[in-house]
Structure 1
Amino acid sequence: MISQRLCTMLNTSISFMQVRCIKTTTVLPLIQKWRKERGLPMNPQSHNELVNRPDYSFKDGRITPYGVRQKKRMEHQRELRDQIISLSGEIDFAVERHAKLQAEEENRKKRIIDAKLKPKGSKLLKSK
């Protein structure tokens, strides 16, 4: 897309020169397919030892402070964790509420049927 814009700009601005445009395609779909087949993450820069470990360490064993992006990643993971917990709680509530509503509906139907079907005559006298 950018190369096409550049070509049109060059063609319109320089009318007396011959401009050749080379179109290239990316190999990204091939790389993604290769990574997916091998069970690797799509972005190699997102999960590896160089990303997850600190840039340096102290010889005396002190804790290394987190990097800026590492802090952002951790905060993002915490936000996702909190969101997952709240949404799973909502799902649990919805499942329990649905079960409760189903039970109430069954009880209502049972009460209606019991009210309609009453014993008559001698059976009524025996049940009392």
Structure 2
Amino acid sequence: MFCRINLNLGSISPVYFNLRSFVTTQAHYLNQKYRKEKGLPLNPNTSSILTNTPDYTFLNGSLAPLGVGQQRRILREKEVVKQIVSLSKEIDFAVYRHEQLQRDAENQKKEILSKKLKPKGYTLLKQS
């Protein structure tokens, strides 16, 4: 957002100022404690109806093309979804493997005990 401001500096060409550098962000003036208590995002421009919906609609009901920011957000969200799915698969595998290792250790202990504890004496003669 540029604004042309003519400063009467004689023979010097007009100067362009970036208005964004002069306008401070609203995040400094917003009550961040209130936003945290209400469960709102710290930056109100990151997620809202205005940022997540199309800028306009057609009267016949057809979809409006996505904006550049919306496409970027959608791609970013798809990447996050892929990462969540892969990490949840890793967690499921780790839980399954841990359970399997526990079962194997338990079976090994039972096998060792079954080999060690054999009937002796009168009970051995009584079984056969």
Q: TM-score when scaled to structure 1? A: 0.73
- The amino acid across from 1:50 in the alignment is L
User: Across the two proteins, how many residue pairs are aligned to each other?
Assistant: 103
Tell me what 1:31 maps to.
31
Take 2:107 and 2:126, find their aligned partners in 1: how far apart are those partners?
26
Deviation of 1:118 (Å):
0.6
Take 1:95 and 1:29, find their aligned partners in 2: how far apart are those partners?
47
Take 2:118 and 2:71, find their aligned partners in 1: how far apart are those partners?
71
Tell me what 1:107 maps to.
107
Q: Deviations over 1:90-113 (max 9, x none)?
A: 101110100000010011111111
Runs of 4+ aligned residues of structure 1 deviating over 3 Å after TM superposition are 26-30
Matched ranges for 1:25-104 at <5 A: 28=28, 31-104=31-104
Take 2:41 and 2:47, find their aligned partners in 1: how far apart are those partners?
7
Is the alpha carbon distance of 1:29 and 1:102 closer, same or farther for their aligned partners in structure 2, counting shifts above 3 Å?
Answer: farther
Take 2:49 and 2:29, find their aligned partners in 1: how far apart are those partners?
25
Take 1:27 and 1:41, find their aligned partners in 2: how far apart are those partners?
11
List runs of 5+ in structure 2 lacking aligned partners: 1-25
- The amino acid across from 2:94 in the alignment is A
Take 1:88 and 1:124, find their aligned partners in 2: how far apart are those partners?
53
Deviation of 1:38 (Å):
2.0
- Residue aligned with 2:56, SS: coil
Tell me what 1:117 maps to.
117
Deviation of 1:125 (Å):
2.8
Deviation of 1:117 (Å):
1.0
List runs of 5+ in structure 1 lacking aligned partners: 1-25
Q: Give the structure with the larger strand fraction.
A: 2
Q: What's the C-alpha RMSD, in Å, of the aligned pairs?
A: 2.0
- The amino acid across from 1:121 in the alignment is G
Q: Give the structure with the larger helix fraction.
A: 1
Deviation of 1:127 (Å):
2.6
- The amino acid across from 1:33 in the alignment is K
- The amino acid across from 2:60 in the alignment is D
